Amino acid sequence: MSGRVSAAVTGSLLRIVRGGCRAPTVDTSTAIGEVVLAGPVMTAAGTAGHADELAPWGDLAVLGAHVVKSLHRDPWPGNPPPRLAPADAGMLNSVGLTGPGVAAWVDRDLPRLRRRGVRTVVSIWGRTVEEYAGAAAGLPDEGIVAVEVNLSCPNLDGGRHLFAHDPDASARVVDAVRATVRLPVWAKLSPNTDRIVEVAGAVREAGASAVTLVNTLLGLAIDPATGRARLGAGTGGLSGPALRPVAVRAVHAVRAAHGPGLPVIGVGGVSRGVHAAELLAAGASAVQVGTATFVDPRAPWRVQRELVAWCARRGVRAVADLVGSAHA
Ligand code: RRO
């Protein structure tokens, strides 16, 4: 242990032990509206499976929460391969919302997560308000901490966002899901619009407890030798390091416009603790780690430990004290 930094979870407190001498304990708890999480780092939807696929690399119960890949009411096959293409500062994906459907997930995957004591957030999607409500209707109240309504998948109908640009349509979805479940509802929004601040306001009015910012940026990669798209579906969503400034800007703008009354979860290009600190300073109450997990499946746990170490080094006693500090 000597000379290394390590962290152990003790309730909502992470204690940093460095070279045998104890640095101040950092309170890692964070509130997303009515949901209080013991840690500020979650997995990002679509990057950590539907169940406990990441369990060989870490204890999912140590993370603030685990967000599972978006589920439709019905099973959904997804897009033709190739579904991933590397980009210079990240990657493009067009997975196309592959999933087993809510009923199979509740039957097969949720029990695995419950047995592990995971705080599970379920991402849901649909093509109509009714489909979202149908997905929500299949969810139990127990064993789930929140529903993340994915209003922003770039890989449906060739990137023709059905909801992400439209405050009213987004609000109708959130309203319908809220009327269907007793769970807190978070809304995941898109960077592929100049209306993200408006959409955030509309979903808040409709009863969203938080917004998750941001989903991937629409992109396209072409093989010039063949003239064909590198992804089977054509366009895809860009994620990874290139997305981080986009996410920081979106979080900052939404926090500036709506204040601390609308909790924000930041996601986009987080692979280090300092990246999480940046999103918290911009106004996020928690962060999600996504594409970094493809490089290092232990990334969510490492980012959480690095964030705590970052706070301890700077004398930040509570992660929550960082939230919105760039607005002070
Ligand atoms: O499955 C996907 O292709 C996908 C989804 Br649901 C999403 O929300 N964002 C993304 O980049 N890919």
Q: Best mutation site among 71, 91, 93 for ligand 1, i.e. most ligand atoms within 8 A of its Cβ?
A: 93
Q: Please give the pLDDT value at position 7.
A: 38
Atom of ligand 1 minimally distant from the CA of 96: 3
Ligand 1 interacting residues, C-beta cut-off 6 A: 46, 70, 93-97, 150, 153-155, 215-216, 237
- Whether 311 sits among the annotated catalytic residues: the reply is no
Which pair of structure tokens corresponds to residue 152? 């922003």
Q: Please give the pLDDT value at position 31.
A: 98
Distance CA 68, CA 52 (A): 9
Atom of ligand 1 minimally distant from the CA of 216: 11
Q: Label the pairing between strands 120-124 and 66-71.
A: parallel
CA-nearest residue, atom 6 of ligand 1: 97
Ligand 1 midpoint to CA 113 (Å): 22
Ligand 1 midpoint to CA 128 (Å): 17
Q: Please give the pLDDT value at position 22.
A: 55
Q: Best mutation site among 50, 68, 91, 97 for ligand 1, i.e. most ligand atoms within 8 A of its Cβ?
A: 97
Q: Please give the pLDDT value at position 19.
A: 38
Give, to the nearest 10 degrees, the angle between helix 167-180 and helix 196-205: 30
Ligand 1 midpoint to CA 267 (Å): 13
Atom of ligand 1 minimally distant from the CA of 69: 6
| 224 burial via Cβ count (<10 Å: 0-12, 13-18, 19+) | exposed
Q: Which residues of 22-33 are buried (b: 16+ CB within 10 A; e: fewer)?
A: ebeebbbbbebb
Q: Please give the pLDDT value at position 286.
A: 98
Q: Splitting the chain (328 residues) into consecutive groups of 10 residues, what average pLDDT does each group show?
A: 33 44 80 97 98 98 98 97 97 97 98 98 97 98 97 85 91 98 98 97 98 97 98 97 98 98 98 98 98 98 98 97 96
Active-site entry in 38, 145, 147, 153 = 153
Atom of ligand 1 minimally distant from the CA of 79: 3
Ligand 1 midpoint to CA 93 (Å): 7
pTM over 0.85: yes
CA-nearest residue, atom 1 of ligand 1: 97
